[in-house]
Amino acid sequence: MRSTEMKSYLSLIPISAKVRRRQNRMTILCIVLAVFLVTAVFSMADMAIRMETSNQLNKNGNWHIMVKDISPETAAELAAQEDVAAFSAYSDINASLTENYFAGDKRAALVGADDAILQIFPGMQCSTAPADGEVLVTANIRDWLDVTVGTAIPLTLPDGQTISLTVAGFNEDTSDADQYDAVVLVMNRSTFSQIAAQVEESFETRYFIQFKPRTNLRQSIVNIENKYGISEEKISENTYLMALNASSNNDYIVGLYAVAAVLAGMVVLAGIFMITGSINSNVAQRTSYYGMLRCLGAGKNQVRMLVRLEALFWCKTAVPAGCVLGVVSTWGLCAFLRGFVGDEFSSLPVFGISPVGIVCGMVLGLVTVWFAASSPARRAAKASPITAATGNAVENAAASPCHARLFGSRAELSLGVSHATSSKKNLLLMTGSFALSILLFLSFSVLLRWVGFALNPLQPYAPDLSVGETSGQNVLDPVLVEQLEALPEVKHAFGRMYCPFPAEYQGKQGSIDLISYDTIQFGWAKKDLIGGTLPQESEDGTYPVLTVFDKSNSLTVGDTIQLEDAKLTVVGVLDDSPFSSTDSPIVICTEETFHQLTGQNRYAVIDIQLKDTTADAAIAQIHTLLSDTLNKQVVFSNRIEGNRMIQSTYWAFHLVVYAFLIVIAGITILNIINSISMSVSARMKQYGILRAIGMDDAQLKRMISAEAGTYAVSGLVVGIALGLVLNRMLYTRLITHYFGAAWQVPRGCLAVIVVIVLVAVVLAVYNPVRRILMQPITATISEL
């Protein structure tokens, strides 16, 4: 008999779903949106990881670690390990391009490696490794020489000797070589050693290791360290590839893992709160329905199971719809990035399917719905048979007049606040749902700032072309800047002087890198100031200077730097600069100060910005102008392609983050609208009674507005309070710790959040009020 009753009660699920299709629509929409959000976020992350893995394999090579300072015997044992897929020794000469090695008339770097180099660096286009006297050469050489496979090319050595090498293949990855107007020659170790011996050049041998698929990378590295006694300092990781495999121990990458975990957890929590709040409201408005079932003999366990299975019944369509929507949106975003943003995204899968994203979406939907229905199920099971007759009005009706008397003529406002606060659990769910949306918004907004700091070439001072002395000497005539500025194709040309100085600062001996800025560079530097001011004229016998923030640079505003016969005073700190960090603090001064301290007025480097970076003729003209200056110590660098790639990446990151912010904003609005609508629906009988005893339309609108406003205020207060804490934590972790910029209250973001919530509240109030006012009072009272 019990099994027959259970079957009979459960058969009500599809009937109820059909009858209450309109009432259930918003709950189903909440499940769809939550599943969509999680599926889209994790699917897009999966696609991005696949793309970046492909890009990094092509750019930096398919190796996991590089080991140095080991014996040949240890190297042989490492190559024979079971988990090693490829192993190659690697040596280079003139990697810094400061020595006089030339292929034709282009500066050359030499590399000696084993046959496995072809497997480790996929850009190598060659069926077999180079034999003795053969080389693989970067493909940019074809732009300068008529070279094909089998062609002999001359290699000029620093002592003036020339040897002939045969081209065995090409390396299609020419980004670094193009940037420095050079070529890279890769040969076997025998040919490399002969050349090194001929010019008496010493070199260091390093070893690249590629592990087999599905290897526990971190454990394999630890095993190598322990087995062969190799210290961590002798092992370098392919940071990006290890990071993409979630195996990096780099401090910054580990920090990014933590940030990603926090954001992913918040996305999941937002979905959970959205679904839980919706189901809770849905069940609350049907208390009389469950009371009727109790009248008909349904037990508490039967009602609990009915509520849970009814919730899972919604998942039958909502979860697949959310997953499909997430996959399709991922396809659309991938297609846009690949087709309209840039070559950087050419390896992005357009119609890729992410099992991780789909599984995460399905698990979130099913598990969340099941557990979210648990509490409402217990609440429904407690519904007494008398509720079938009185409905939902009995619970709150007694308290309402009391509140009304306390608030006098504004009774409707107190009723609205009372409705919002009468159920602590419902208020907590509503507040938590709104707050999590705000938390997500504030958290993702940090990524926008991080992209701006992480991609330095996008800064105003980023050059398109550069000419510089290889060893950093100041040899470039300032007249060159004037000549370049006079060209119609040139937007800006500016130079910098450089000189290392022994110095004493903060009570210790050390050195500094002194660099000069002209007026335009100081103008760009102004926006990067994180403390102090720009240097003015020399005062009190000291020279005002700037320093650049770095984790290893302890100089701050007010510190003094004592040179042999001069004193410098730090008047400002920059959070960024065009220079790579070194062990010595970077100190920036005016050209006049530099001249007074060193007696020099020539530049070490001249940077050029073009009005049109696609004008090849203009680039050739500039190259011709500089041809008399270019020699074996002065090189020309073209950074246009690299800048273009990073520009595409920059905008793509912004596009993705803005897309998620828009989705979060949309879900926030729909969540507020749905929550208010469900809350109003749960009190339809009570509203009918209030209208029957004299509440007019304006009072009804104010009452529901007060209820919606209470939810909005509580959500804003909690969300902004917690959001600012999390925003600051993420900002400090991602930006302040590495770029030096201090956190500031994101006022613009907070203003956007407040506007979104206010718009959502206005929209949320409109539809329920319109629906109530369109119904006769008798229909409102009798609605189940």
Question: Tens digit of pLDDT for each residue in 7-46?
Answer: 556 566 666 666 666 666 777 877 888 788 788 877 877 7
- Confirm if 469 and 604 have CB atoms less than 8 A apart: yes
Output the pLDDT for position 459. Answer: 76
| 191 contacts 219 by C-beta, under 8 angstroms | no
- The sign of the dihedral angle between the CA atoms of 158, 159, 160, 165 is negative
CA distances from 77 to 81, 205, 213 (A): 7, 16, 20
Q: Which of 578, 611, 592 is nearest to 536 (CA)?
A: 592
Higher pLDDT, 502 or 449: 502
pLDDT surpassing 70 at residue 249? no
Structure tokens at 386: 């008398």
CA-closest candidate to residue 528, choices 604, 567, 594, 579: 579
Please give, one letter per residue, the 3-state secondary structure of 658-714: HHHHHHHHHHHHHHHHHHHHHHHHCCHHHHHHHHHCCCCHHHHHHHHHHHHHHHHHH
- State the DSSP code for 655: H
Distance CA 264, CA 53 (A): 21
User: Residue by residue, what is the 3-state secondary structure of 271-294?
Assistant: HHHHHHHHHHHHHHCCHHHHHHHH
Backbone angles phi, psi at 18, to 5 degrees: -70, -40
What is the distance between the terminal CA atoms of the chain, rounded to a whole angstrom? 29
pLDDT digits (tens, 9 = 90+) for 422-449: 777 777 877 877 787 788 788 878 877 7
Give yes or no for residue 502 having a pLDDT over 50: yes
Q: How confident is the model at residue 496 (pLDDT cuts 50, 70, 90)?
A: very high
Any idea how long the chain is?
784
Q: What is the pLDDT of residue 522?
A: 92
More reliable by pLDDT, 439 or 92? 92
Q: Would you say residue 400 has pLDDT above 50? A: no
Range name among 195-204, 445-454, 534-543 with the lowest pLDDT average: 445-454
Q: What is the DSSP letter of 456?
A: G
Where are any strands of DSSP class E within 497-604? Answer: 498-505, 508-517, 529-532, 542-548, 560-562, 567-574, 586-590
Q: Which residue has the tokens 């195996």?
A: 247
Q: What is the DSSP letter of 298?
A: -
User: Is residue 2 scored above 60 in pLDDT?
Assistant: no
SS (H, E, C) 459-497: CCCCCCEEEEECCCCCCECCHHHHHHHHCCCEEEEEEEC
Over residues 41-81, the pLDDT tens digits come to: 778 777 877 777 777 677 777 888 899 888 888 989 898 88
* Eight-class DSSP state of 550: B
Helix (H, G, I), strand (E, B) or coil at 369: helix
Q: State the Cα–Cα distance between residues 710 and 223, nearest whole angstrom.
A: 59
* Residue 205 in this model has a pLDDT that exceeds 80: yes
3-state SS, residue 551? coil
Q: Quote the mean pLDDT of the chain.
A: 79
**Strand 605-610 to 490-496 pairing:** antiparallel
Q: Is 280 exposed, middle or buried (0-12, 13-18, 19+ CB in 10 A)?
A: buried
Please indicate whether residue 468 or residue 21 has the higher confidence score (pLDDT).
468
Residue 172 has pLDDT above 50, yes or no: yes
Position 587 scores a pLDDT of 93
Enumerate the domain spans of the chain.
1-60+260-391, 66-237, 392-460+641-784, 465-640
Tokens of 483: 């000549």
What confidence tier does 255 reach under pLDDT thresholds 50, 70, 90? low
Query: Higher model confidence: residue 396 or residue 603?
Result: 603
> pLDDT band at residue 403, thresholds of 50, 70 and 90?
very low
Is 127's pLDDT higher than 60?
Answer: yes
pLDDT tens digits for range 531-587 = 889 988 776 778 899 998 877 778 889 899 999 888 999 999 988 777 766 778 899
- Cα atoms found within 13 Å of the Cα of residue 213, Cβ hemisphere only: 0
pLDDT of residue 565: 83
